[in-house]
Structure 1
Amino acid sequence: MNIFKSSIVLLTTTSLLAVAGEKIDQTLPIGDVTSVEVENLRGKIKIVGQSVDSVHVVGELDDEAEGFTFEQNGSVMLIKVEMPRHLENNWSRQETNLEITLPKNVNVSFSGVSSDIVLSELDADASVGTVSGNVAIKNISKRLEVSSVSGDIDAHQIGNLTHLSSVSGNIDTSGASGSLFVKSVSGDIEAKSTAPIVEAKNVSGEMVLSLNSVEDLMMSTVSGDIDADLSLDNNGQIKLSSVSGDFHLNFLNDVQAIFRLRASAGGDLINRLTSVKAKEDKYGPSSRLSFETGNASSRVSGSTVSGNIVLTHK
């Protein structure tokens, strides 16, 4: 009996050790699964939606992987690379590299640390969270939420409700058609969008926005500069806020709005839409710019401490 127990322990240990660097080629039927969750510490994961009725995983595991989970639990399918708590600092190691194909209409979530993620071709919701890995997204038709600390985010041809957030990584996005929310601390943001509702925030990074007709636009910065090309719909609104960062708003249409702008500590308010000039307050360094264009059906309001706000027409 003791010999039998010893054999079982030996076989189990051998199986666990064999997982490290193992090649994977596994398939499970989608059944009644509505969402797929993927977890990977480091390496690269590629997820592609296709017209299929199964989930297929192919590739190679990390040299230090301790296990691989690929299983269904109710309506959720889990794909997870098990890693040790403490990793060896070995630059020659093979990191996980997996490609996952799944049905287009299944929701997908991914979490990682230093794992890059490529995600495309989904007619479903998707969420991605990573620390230092880069994120590349394309053709996601529904809700999309992406957060990163230092990794870059590239998201194109995305859905009707999109949230993109980074700390020091850059964000490059295009194709959002519903609502777009982008936020960064020190990373730069470049966004091209037809979304009518847009919110863009940063602290010290630069932002370049190319927007179509917006109904509701909110932009805020601390010390970063924001350049925006846009059209403002009738009955729409724009709200601006900065400390020392500059705004340059370039209107692509004959904007018809009430403008109310204020600088409280010496920032310049420059109006190139009409002949109205900013007026300095009688006491202190603050100034105000108030005027109207067309039927004044929309509203543009903003404040800055020491930054500049420039209004132009293309």
Structure 2
Amino acid sequence: MKLIQLGASLCLLLASSLSLADSRQSINEVRTVSPNEQISLEVMRGKVEIRGTNSNQFRVSGKLDEKAEGFTLDSKGGFTGFIVQMPRQLREQHQEKVQGSELVIELPVGSSVSFKGVNVDVSLTQVNGGVEINTVNGDITAAQLDGRVELATVNGAIKSQALNGQLRLRSVNGKISDQGATGRLSVESVNGEIALKSKPQELMVTVVNGEVDLELTDTAQLEISSVNGNVELELKNQNAPRIKGSSVSGKFELKLPANLDAAVSLKTSAGGSIKNSLTADQPSRAKYGPASGLQFTSGKGLGVIDINTVSGRIELKKN
């Protein structure tokens, strides 16, 4: 009898502990919305998954932040807004374990989405009406997005796949990686690595204190700016590109098609160097000072390659 009572007490204690472990409010709200709804979302902390669907419904389900004071959900006239309401001043001890929101948000695939967060990871898929995601401390994962897409985080990584349209990816302290992006792509990073296996028609890359690894297909126009970082570029299926690059204290390594059709101008200063393995043309040193340069035309010169570096190295190779 005592063993049975002890077992029952342990079960009650365990159930009580589990209840105390997750006291967050559950949510499961649905609204009927338009196929091209304009949707704004604000979630301060936690994890949020956003999915495009073929249904004309907006649904939010999961758990709210343990500190949440509730939520607001307004939907009218083609506009839907959802906010997890948090205390105006949220003070936490450094060691305190926090249970943020864990939400799944489903919306029509043709919607446009605007998201704001602070300490939150965001993943989103299949949204075709445009996306703007901003978080401070968190990672962003994105796939199958179309239209105007802006993904930005301060302390976090961005990982994207199969994006199309007018695209902008920005991170301060985090790696940016992409596969298969098409359209016009802009990528900016400070203190982070950039790794692209993409095929945008146009690409702009800006990096400070980071490495850049680009494997590009069909890209016709490319602009790269690097400070204290190495750039490795391999360009396929495009023999007449327009490439403009500048670097300070870094390496520029370009792997280009053997049948390159472009006018090439390479310049270094303050101790930089140039190596050309693409053609027989070789650089020449300036009469005065440490500068050097190389100019030549391959084919008819339909494309343009113009690269300048300070205290860096430029190298041309065949891919």
TM-score normalised according to structure 1 size: 0.90
| Counterpart residue type for residue 115 of structure 1 | V
| Counterpart residue type for residue 118 of structure 2 | V
Q: 2:294: which partner in 1?
A: 289
Q: 2:234: which partner in 1?
A: 229
Alignment check: 8 A CA contact 1:232 1:253 kept: no
Measure, in 2, the Cα distance between the counterparts of 1:242 and 1:207: 12
Deviations 1:115-143 (A, max 9, x none): 11010011221110011111000111222
Equivalent positions of 1:19-98 (< 5 A) are 21-31=24-34, 34-84=37-87, 85-89=89-93, 91-98=96-103
Measure, in 2, the Cα distance between the counterparts of 1:70 and 1:137: 24
Measure, in 2, the Cα distance between the counterparts of 1:32 and 1:244: 50
Cα distance, 1:266 vs structure 2: 1.2
The runs of 5 or more residues in structure 2 that have no matched partner are 1-22
Equivalent positions of 1:1-314 (< 5 A) are 21-31=24-34, 34-84=37-87, 85-89=89-93, 91-231=96-236, 233=238, 236-314=241-319
Measure, in 2, the Cα distance between the counterparts of 1:32 and 1:150: 34
Q: Which moved more, 1:83-92 or 1:237-246?
A: 83-92
Alignment check: 8 A CA contact 2:35 2:110 kept: no
Cα distance, 1:301 vs structure 2: 0.5
Q: Aligned pair in 2 of structure 1 residues 129, 253: CA closer, same or farther (>3 Å)?
A: farther
Cα distance, 1:188 vs structure 2: 0.3
Deviations 1:184-223 (A, max 9, x none): 0111000111111011110110010010122110011011
Q: Aligned pair in 2 of structure 1 residues 180, 31: CA closer, same or farther (>3 Å)?
A: closer
Identical pairs, percent: 34
Measure, in 2, the Cα distance between the counterparts of 1:157 and 1:274: 35
Alignment check: 8 A CA contact 1:38 1:110 kept: yes
Q: Aligned pair in 2 of structure 1 residues 102, 265: CA closer, same or farther (>3 Å)?
A: same
Measure, in 2, the Cα distance between the counterparts of 1:62 and 1:72: 22
| Counterpart residue type for residue 125 of structure 1 | G
| Counterpart residue type for residue 116 of structure 1 | D
Measure, in 2, the Cα distance between the counterparts of 1:33 and 1:178: 22
Q: Which moved more, 1:71-80 or 1:240-249?
A: 71-80
Measure, in 2, the Cα distance between the counterparts of 1:94 and 1:253: 56
Deviations 1:142-186 (A, max 9, x none): 221011111100111101211001111110111111111101011
Cα distance, 1:31 vs structure 2: 4.1
Q: Which moved more, 1:24-33 or 1:94-103?
A: 24-33
| Counterpart residue type for residue 88 of structure 1 | E
The runs of 5 or more residues in structure 1 that have no matched partner are 1-19
Alignment check: 8 A CA contact 2:217 2:238 kept: no
Aligned length: 295
Q: Aligned pair in 2 of structure 1 residues 304, 124: CA closer, same or farther (>3 Å)?
A: same
Tell me which stretches of 4 or more aligned residues in structure 1 moved more than 6 Å. none
Measure, in 2, the Cα distance between the counterparts of 1:73 and 1:83: 23
CA RMSD, aligned part only? 1.5
Cα distance, 1:73 vs structure 2: 4.4
| Counterpart residue type for residue 177 of structure 2 | D
Q: 1:11: which partner in 2?
A: none
Measure, in 2, the Cα distance between the counterparts of 1:253 and 1:94: 56
Q: Aligned pair in 2 of structure 1 residues 58, 296: CA closer, same or farther (>3 Å)?
A: same
Alignment check: 8 A CA contact 1:33 1:74 kept: no
Alignment check: 8 A CA contact 1:232 1:255 kept: no
Measure, in 2, the Cα distance between the counterparts of 1:58 and 1:220: 43
